[in-house]
Amino acid sequence: MHENIDRILFTEDEIKQRVAEIGAGITQDYKDDPDGVILISVLRGAAIFMADLARQIQLPCEMDYMAVSSYGNGVKSSGVVRILKDLSSQIEGRNVVIAEDVLDSGLTLTYLLKTLKARNPKSIEVATLLRKKTRAQAKIDCAYVGFECPDEFIVGYGLDYAERYRNLPYIGVLKPELYN
Ligand SMILES: O=P(O)(O)OC[C@H]1O[C@H](OP(=O)(O)OP(=O)(O)O)[C@H](O)[C@@H]1O
Ligand SMILES: Nc1nc2[nH]cnc2c(=O)[nH]1
Ligand SMILES: [Mg+2]
């Protein structure tokens, strides 16, 4: 375990297993639709989750990326979501599945769903690896949820603190003395 990690919440094996189950669920849900799906990853955090998830989906499957950021280098949302990079594809008439790493305040997904629904996709669903148990979370319907997680700042498997720890293969909590 990395020296700055206080404890592991989800191991590499547990994540792998759960991602396979979500992929199987998506495969099942869209198997009768010849259009397949377009996975949209919310950069940067969700890139690792989407890369693993895509390989567990047995359907015609495209991948595109959108970059938004509200956390900057801190542990709190700034409250303002900014688009840093828009999609390359048109999503009108497509089955969109947004792959997110974590649903926390819900601000990012509220903004994304509103923005992407306005482009008239055939359908739009959310697959989030983690849903945090917070008191103040925007109401977001997630068709696929990997794990419920405690209301702590977590890192690993795509999730950063000041851009570090995204490459950890597990998800854990940083030692509290590292936050400033
Ligand atoms: O539900 P919310 O409170 O909006 O938080 C969730 C978002 O916060 C993180 O992104 P961040 O803004 O840190 O950008 P990053 O993915 O580049 O780290 C995370 O990857 C989610 O996209
Ligand atoms: N790294 C990280 N980013 C987040 N964005 C929203 N919540 C979190 C979190 O707990 N960890
Ligand atoms: Mg971040």
Does residue 160 carry a catalytic annotation? no
Give me the catalytic one of 29, 64, 86, 104: 104
- Map out the domains of the chain as residue ranges: 13-150
Q: Is residue 130 within 6 Å of ligand 2 at its C-beta?
A: no
pLDDT tens sequence across 36-52 = 999 999 899 999 999 99
pLDDT above 80 (res 77): no
Alpha helices in 31-165 (DSSP H): 47-54, 107-117
Q: Is residue 102 within 6 Å of ligand 2 at its C-beta?
A: yes
Please identify, in words, the CATH class of the domain defined by 13-150: alpha beta
Tokens of 141: 């319907």
Q: Residue 178 has what DSSP assignment?
A: G
pTM of the model: 0.93
Q: Is residue 101 within 6 Å of ligand 1 at its C-beta?
A: yes
Q: What 3-state class would DSSP assign to 39?
A: strand
Of 107, 148, 155, nearest to 129 by C-alpha is 148
ipTM of the complex: 0.96
**Are 74 and 67 within 8 A, CB to CB?**
no
Q: Residue 177 has what DSSP assignment?
A: G
